[in-house]
Amino acid sequence: MRLPPAIVAHTEEVLREILRFTGPADSTLSRYFRDHPKLGSRERGVIAEAVYGLLRNKSVYTSFAESGSGPLMRRLALLGLADAAGVEALGGLSEEEAQWLARVMDIDRSMLPAPLRANLPQWLFDKLVARLGEPTALEFAEALNRPAPLDLRVNSIKATREDVIASLATAPILCEQTPYAPLGIRIIKKPALQNLPIFKNGLIEVQDEGSQLLSQIVGAKRGEMVVDFCAGAGGKTLALGALMRNTGRLYAFDVSEKRLAKMKPRVARSGLSNVHPVQIAHENDAKVKRLAGKIDRVLVDAPCSGLGTLRRNPDVKWRQVPQSLTELNVKQQAILAGAARLVKAGGRLVYATCSILDEENEAIVEQFLSTHDDFQLVPMKDVCAEQKIDLDMQDYLKLYPHVHQTDGFFAAVLERKK
């Protein structure tokens, strides 16, 4: 089925805005679709796929677009649409454009130079090559550039994994158990979940398996006092609340009122009554200080570059610059130090990011331990054994898409000495 010629113009228009990299691509795309309500669901789907394809493969597309004629943005839009829907589906092409597209789509991309195939900014690819060597760095980059599967977490206070799999089968939705997280389900295709009774009634939440594992290593137990220090919209908060069997007290701290507001309907749907969302101004807020030395477990899912989430947010790699990492590192150190004050003797502090860079991960933990001799590192291999997680880790949790089929995650477990 051919796409109307206007699709190319719409793709071109929204791409022009997205490639300014002034904000997240998904927000820009959503706003564009709201402003153009006449676009049908098929057209929106193809435009979104073309845009995300371009963000994933920007290096290759830009190289291909150097040939051909006409405006550069149109050539980029055509490449994205050809990958998303096929050349034959595109209407309104000139003969020259059709020939050019057929020619470039025939190029064997596996024969391109490694930096092009990686589709990463040069500075980021260089970092990966320095750490892993070129073949592994390329494998890593190619995994980051593949779309992520859809993972669900079963809300254990309302259902079992077996119940949910059986319910999904009646939809019918194909799925399988995730290999590491005990409550994870991986959906084979991406259906609309929000209309399913199991979603509306809070039996499932969308959450990457890696994110589920971060919540698990906190080791939250019944009746404890727990803090999710950078709670965001509450995915890990909900997982922690269920692990606590809806007992004890779970504080969800965040500086953003908007993010905490998004959490409220999710908490209501989940059936949890032990969650207490609290807006704080910063890591040294009086609301934080009041709980100093009283908390059993604190999770710090720190603000970071987000470079582990490129499967979902491919624009992040083009929006992130090396200079911004320095500012993030200062913030990460301050937040970790602020959160540490909450932990009581013998309590657990988990520092986590969705970054793949050492300077946001090991370097932050090592700096913290060098200035906080009342804390010690708990080796991740011991935590995995305690939580019955079948992962081969040493000191830290390091999850990678090309190895574990999760987003890129890092975590360290620290304990306040008794």
Q: Can you read off the two tokens belonging to residue 413?
A: 């477990």
Task: Give, in degrees to the nearest 5, the angle at Cα 366 between 365 and 370.
Answer: 115
Q: 397-399 and 409-416: which strand pairing?
A: antiparallel
Our measurement of the distance from residue 375's CA atom to the centroid of its chain's CA atoms, rounded to an integer in Å, reads: 29
Task: Give, in degrees to the nearest 5, the angle at Cα 26 between 24 and 27.
Answer: 70
Q: Can you read off the two tokens belonging to residue 315?
A: 């624009």
Superfamily covering domain 209-416: Vaccinia Virus protein VP39 (3.40.50.150)
Q: Which residues of the chain have pLDDT under 50?
A: none
Where are the domains positioned within the chain?
A: 6-112, 209-416
What pLDDT was estimated at residue 290? Answer: 96
What is the reported pTM? 0.95
Q: Which residues pair with 175 in a beta bridge?
A: 187
Per-residue pLDDT of 323-351, as tens digits, reads: 999 999 999 999 999 999 999 999 999 99
Computed from CA positions of residues 157, 161, 162, 163, in that sequence, does the dihedral angle turn out positive or negative? positive
